[in-house]
């Protein structure tokens, strides 16, 4: 009884942790993809972006 409940608790813990790890890995992958796309477009269009903001800022 005690061994059975301990085994069940360990199994539940492992499944929960595996789910959390998979969720965090997917979040990291999405964040990295967003970062790569952002860097690409900022490097490609950076001059246009700076010129646009200079034209609209009253300085």
Token couple for 13: 């813990």
For residue 57, the 8-state DSSP code is S
pLDDT digits (tens, 9 = 90+) for 45-57: 999 999 999 999 9
- pTM greater than 0.85: no
For residue 19, the 8-state DSSP code is H
pLDDT digits (tens, 9 = 90+) for 2-59: 999 999 999 999 999 999 999 999 999 999 999 999 999 999 999 999 999 999 998 7
Task: In whole angstroms, give the CA distance from residue 29 to residue 26.
Answer: 5
57 CB neighbour count, 10 Å cutoff: 7
């Amino acid at each position: 009884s005690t061994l059975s409940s301990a085994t069940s608790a360990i199994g539940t813990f492992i499944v929960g942790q595996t789910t959390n790890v998979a969720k965090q890995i997917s979040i990291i992958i999405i964040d990295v993809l967003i970062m790569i796309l952002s860097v690409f477009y900022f490097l490609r269009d950076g001059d246009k972006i700076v010129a646009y903001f200079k034209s609209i800022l009253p300085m």
